[in-house]
Amino acid sequence: MTAPAGFEAAGVAAGLKSTGNPDVAVVVNRGPMKVGAAVFTSNRAKANPILWSQQAIADGVVEAVVLNSGGANCFTGAFGFQTTHQTAEKAGEILGVSAGDVLVCSTGLIGSGDEVFRGKVLAGTEAAIDALSSAGGADAARAIMTTDTVSKTVTFHGDGWTIGAMAKGAGMLA
**For the chain, what are the domain ranges?**
7-37+47-167
The CATH class that applies to domain 7-37+47-167 reads alpha beta
Contacts for 138 with CB less than 8 Å, ≥ 6 apart: 1, 151, 153
Q: Which pTM value belongs to this model? A: 0.94
pLDDT at position 172 over 70: no
pLDDT above 90 as % of the chain: 82
pLDDT band at 141 (very low <50, low <70, confident <90, very high): very high
Residue among 68, 49, 62 at smallest CA distance from 126: 68
pLDDT at position 14 over 80: yes
Average model confidence (pLDDT) across the chain = 93
68 DSSP β-pair partners? 24, 106
